[in-house]
Structure 1
Amino acid sequence: MGFFIRKSFRAGPIRFNLSKSGIGVSAGVKGARVGVGPRGAYVAGGRGGLYFRETIGGSSARSGNRISSTSVQAPRGTGELFDEFLDTGLTYESPIKKSTLHIKQPPALPEPKSFKATLVIGIIFLLISLLNFSPKNPPIFSIIVTIVFLGTSAYFILYNKDVKQHAELTKQFLEKLFKIVEEGKKPPSTYIPESLSNASSNFKKHYSNKAIRAYIASFCNEVIAEKELETAKMKLEISNDEFLNAKLHVFSNLFDTYLEDGELDVEEEASIKSVAKKLNIPRETIESEMQVISVMSSIREDVNSALSPIETPLPLQKGEICYYRSDAKILKEKTLSTQTISGTKYKKKGFDIEKEGTAYLTNKKIAIVGAGVYTIPISKIVDVVLNIENSIIELSLDNRKTSLYLTLAMAIPFAAKLEKIMQK
């Protein structure tokens, strides 16, 4: 799956879908939108700022490429068929580059250690020691092993108790901090709570890396000043790299929240740009994300603007008007290879070119003119999906069982104008 814009995008806000790995659900009103996505729950406010709530104690930021293909791992021996789609290099170049935004995870909280195995071994050797004990010839080896394993078990039990206590404290402190930020109130200036200041460095690092995001969100929301944010950074012992990473997390949270619900209106666009500027995020770091915003803006303008007739060599019907043209290819799916592994069939698919030429968009049809003319009546189109990543428009037709795939040199404006025509 790629980066999709669906037919449901409409005049005004533009609606679209992200890939399966990144889609979430959201509900609410503008400016107070609550979302649940692949990284947990959060709240993002629009109109110039944001505040959020993230998963406590777990990973909350997605790392790696945002706009990317995903693959599903099939369970072995299921007897099912799984398709993998490969890029055969036949589509037109996309105006959007793959995201290079990489957000590092906060240091993970220490996990409790398993002591059952050491305890069992210690008990076994204790029994061996007791059964073979003799004052004149004590089983030294068994006794030493018993002491080592039972001592290790006792250490693990005490360690786990400490880990559980500090993990619960970390969770409570972060929940309290995020709740304050969600409510638009000024975060406390205690920074690292005293109860965590003596904990292991991993607990402090985890808390600090998550807490600084709350302070950054408060700064974006103009609840605290830049000087207070810098003080929080210093008191939380955050490095410059960690600080930039936290800024990217907050920006990414807002970006994903606005885009994953399928709309990007003018105010949301302004809000994202404002946050990027306010946080002084290097443009090259979020180049792909800003390209997405630019593309969404151009689509919104295209959908909202009036259609302008253009000249065409096509013979037109009475009342038919041509509005756009683009180099285009009609693609057809083909199976590249099939492999069966442990009873599960894996099929690799790709695109091949069925027809190639110039696509003309009129108020009556899409006509691809090359070696002959291939016509798609507008009245037969029931759904449109624009894959920005591959410059592909997928058309669902009411007289066709499978989708029709078009790749166009100017896929984005073509799709926008097609949507405008279909609204009439």
Structure 2
Amino acid sequence: MRTPNTPHTSGRWRKAGSAAAATTALLLAGLGTAAQAHADTPTPYKASAKTVAAQVAKAHVQYESSCAATPKKGYAACNALRVTAGTTAFMEKQAALKGTTPKSLKPNATSATPTGYGPSDLQDAYGLTSAAASNGSGETIAIVDAYDDPNAAADLATYRSYYGLPACTTANGCFKKVSQTGSTTSLPTADSGWAGEISLDLDMVSAIAPNANILLVEAKSSSMANLGTAVNEAVKLGAKFVSNSYGGGESSSDTTYDSSYFNHPGVAITVSAGDEGYGAEYPAASKYVTAVGGTKLSTSSTSRGWTESVWNTSSTEGTGSGCSSYDAKPSWQTDTGCSKRMIADVSAVADPATGVSVYDSYGSDGTGWNTYGGTSASAPIIASVYALAGTPGSSDYPASYPYSATSALNDVTSGSNGSCTTSYYCTARSGYDGPTGWGTPAGLDAFTG
């Protein structure tokens, strides 16, 4: 049983993709101070399904060159996705509010302001506006990535300052960057591809849990052994919430990795489900973690003000899901079509075309304000929701929590991420399905013991 901080509110290793887009005007009214940023509720944009579909079709995404190389077996590549042209959902929303036509991005363009969803949007979409204003204090959320982002602290400061969030620095004890051995001085080699991923992770923690402390643990390479060692170091340093946005094909070694790196009772460990469409990946398949799928998040005229479907851009780009070939089914998972571990458990926004704003000044291209997507976004979002809900019980596996409160999630019932012989492995339906699990956060109740 966990102890909540406050009452509830409503094949190959690779990095789960992040998509970056160039930018346009954003500054929402009321984001001048931290308090205003948390309290502000955006005006819903009444968009038809046809409008949203047209917007998605306009967004063009490519893999960043520094992340596209296929790594040797047992290593992860970041495979960062970047929106290089077209418009994003946020641009459509802002244009509609102003009664204008959204400007189309030029390939590889950047500018001084964001074009993706910001903290106010994400908090509103997932019922976290009140929780994000007061919770997260005293909790530490760890981000595990490979290689060093030398600009991580400065870029984090830029993001938080723009959105009026409290400063999170080394000096005030909020932010800490260490190697997989815990060193603050002997850090890994810098890598521009993974730097973009790091910026995405840090900014999503900031957006959802702005009062939490952030611990960035950088593995010296993208091997499973080094990334796993970084997970262990994050837990050793006191993090009760650990986000992992990498993954790859399953192997017979996975159960060994489970016991070596991911079996941490009392710690909420989230892992991206993958970005290449239908298919099970590891470590999302670990029975000890919360596997996080991806959705397309758009504003709508519903009472919620938002609508979601399975993220599926093409046959090679979309959220992962599937039935594990090696990992045993955890006791709390009760779907009957898969005898082993089923992916995913829950989900959050991941479609680059409906993506999130991130500030990154060390990327291989498109540095500055970008719009990112991929399950690299959804994993840190869910880790941060767990942090808002409070410290897990010391003997708990928090991956089980959503299964005990399924009505406290937004059920995603439309879309598919590929073809499969067992329908719910790849197709959304009422209740549990592979691509989106039980759904997306609707407040905190599904993330407490």
Q: Please, what TM-score do these two structures have when normalized by structure 1?
A: 0.24
Q: Please, what TM-score do these two structures have when normalized by structure 2?
A: 0.23
